[in-house]
Amino acid sequence: MTDTQARKADHIRICLEEDVRFEEQTHGLERYRFEHCCLPELDCDRIELSTEFLGKSLGAPLLISSMTGGTERAKTINRRLAVVAQTYKLAMGVGSQRVAIERPEVADTFAVRDLAPDILLFANLGAVQLNYTYGLRQCLQAVELLEADALILHLNPLQECIQPQGDRDFSQLLDKIELICSKLPVPVIVKEVGNGISAKMARVLIEAGVGAIDVAGAGGTSWAKVESQRSHSPMQRRLGQTFADWGLPTAECVVSIRQQYRDVPLIASGGLRNGLDAAKAIALGADLAGLAFPFLQAASDSAAATDELAQLLLAELRTVLFCTGNANIFALKQSNCLQKLAP
């Protein structure tokens, strides 16, 4: 097993077995509540959850967020997730494909098109790799390997600072991202990995040609804590603990970006755990709500648990729409039925 594969295996194990949540920082969605409608004048069974994102139809505004790949355990997880995504017409991303670029023999741990021919599927590479020999060719490879509809370039400066032998040269990276956006035949999505994207940085990325933003805010898994757990260096372990709560809350990122950019395709992820969280994110202005840990937990358990989670999320979303008097996702986004609680 290579160092990269070992890191991927460590990430799955630590996320499932250790407490690597943010310690005090939250996603911010708990500061909002829906106004209850006691007479919705709707048939709950006819509520419509379907939507569109990047020109593709979805059964619900849900994204199985990027998580893993590169090991046999990751292959099992990805294939269980793909079946559920196909069954319920959900969007799906995979974990960083760097290991598949460097070791083609593990590419099948990411490949899911045979199980999910119709889903909105996102390839994924670390943007910082554009400063470490990667370029358009590797981005095309990642997309072609998955037959993906878009490429995620993830930004993770804090994680790289804590990670043993992390790639920390983020200099002049924006120009390289802009080049990929101009040359790649599919849209580029830029996402953080749990520390958030501000409206200021969203502006820079949109002007560079990025097709969508995934805020991936603070409040869920703290990758500073994950990498702290992995490190054998006392200094790196302490560094990870110091920055365990670093980042911008998911709700804050969504609101600030949507206020300035009404039309940019926007994904809310970072600490979302259920359909109520997802509905709040959508009502705040996101187009999709991404969940990672709940799907990782379920898919690590069994195919049945993964399917049950998807059904629950859809039922939770439908319940929110019914109890706020909204017949569909578009109505929810226009309804102004989410209230911010007093501090």
pLDDT in tens, 47-93: 999 999 999 999 999 999 999 999 999 999 999 999 999 999 999 99
Collapsing DSSP to helix, strand or coil, 57 comes out as strand
For residue 165, what pLDDT is reported? 86
For residue 8, what pLDDT is reported? 80
The boundaries of the domain holding residue 272 are 20-338
CA 193-30-158 angle, to 5 degrees, is 20
Contact 22, 222 (CB under 8 A): yes
6 lies in some domain: no
245 lies in some domain: yes
- Token pair 């603070």: residue: 218
In the chain the beta strands, taken as DSSP E runs, fall at 32-34, 51-53, 56-58, 62-64, 91-93, 121-126, 150-155, 188-192, 212-214, 266-269, 288-291, 338-340
The tally of domains found in the chain comes to 1
Of the candidates 78, 59, 56, 51, the one whose C-alpha atom is nearest the C-alpha of residue 67 is: 78
Contact 98, 125 (CB under 8 A): yes
306 lies in some domain: yes
Cα dihedral angle (293, 229, 217, 22), rounded to 10 degrees?
90
Q: Kindly state the average pLDDT of the residues 134-162.
A: 98
4 lies in some domain: no
1 lies in some domain: no
Of the candidates 89, 90, 83, the one whose C-alpha atom is nearest the C-alpha of residue 63 is: 90
13 lies in some domain: no
pTM to 2 decimal places: 0.97
CATH number for the domain spanning 145: value is 3.20.20.70
pLDDT at 3 over 80: no
pLDDT at 2 over 80: no
3 lies in some domain: no
- Confidence category of residue 186, pLDDT binned at 50, 70, 90: very high
63 lies in some domain: yes
For residue 6, what pLDDT is reported? 81
Q: Kindly state the average pLDDT of the residues 92-97.
A: 98
